[in-house]
Amino acid sequence: MKHQRGVALSGLLFWSIVLVLVAVLGMKVAPTVIEYYKIKKDCKGAVAQVGKDATVADVKRAFDRFAEIDMLDFKADQLDISKEGGQIVVSFAYEKRIPLFANVSLLIDYQGSTLER
């Protein structure tokens, strides 16, 4: 007796709904992840541009220039700037709330530093 092979219509519908939901979630999360990596890159660029003897205001001005080029809503006032071992360290932390549907949201905590790789 030969067995039929293939996918049932109910299985096809189930997996297509799952695939669509994952794709929509990915499309909503991807811009925030890209923004996070831009902020991290701009922090490293600002520190590299100003040098070791720069003030906090110099680092903030340099970051604002980088953020303006990358069209970021993130402002230099949200940065935590300090010196560790003679090296300028810029760190940041923020939350991003992504509305999914109805009253359901996804909350992502982003944090980064110029010490990280």
State the pLDDT confidence band at 12, using cuts at 50, 70 and 90: very high
Question: H-type helices in the chain, by residue range?
Answer: 9-50, 56-69
Q: How far is the C-alpha of 57 from the C-alpha of 63, rounded, in Å?
A: 10
Amino acid at 20: V
Q: Would you say 80 and 90 are in contact if contact means Cβ atoms under 8 Å apart?
A: yes
State the pLDDT confidence band at 5, using cuts at 50, 70 and 90: confident
Q: How far is the C-alpha of 96 from the C-alpha of 109, rounded, in Å?
A: 6
What are the residues whose beta carbons fall under 8 Å from the beta carbon of 62, sequence distance 6 or more?
45, 46, 49, 50, 54
Tens digits of per-residue pLDDT, 21-79? 999 999 999 999 999 999 999 999 999 999 888 889 999 999 999 999 999 999 999 99
Matching residue, tokens 């509305």? 99
Token pair, residue 10, equals 């109910």
According to the model, what pLDDT value does residue 3 have?
81
Distances (CA, A) of 96 to 20, 53, 85, 102: 23, 33, 32, 17
pTM of the shown model: 0.84
Ordered by start, the domain boundaries in the chain are 30-113
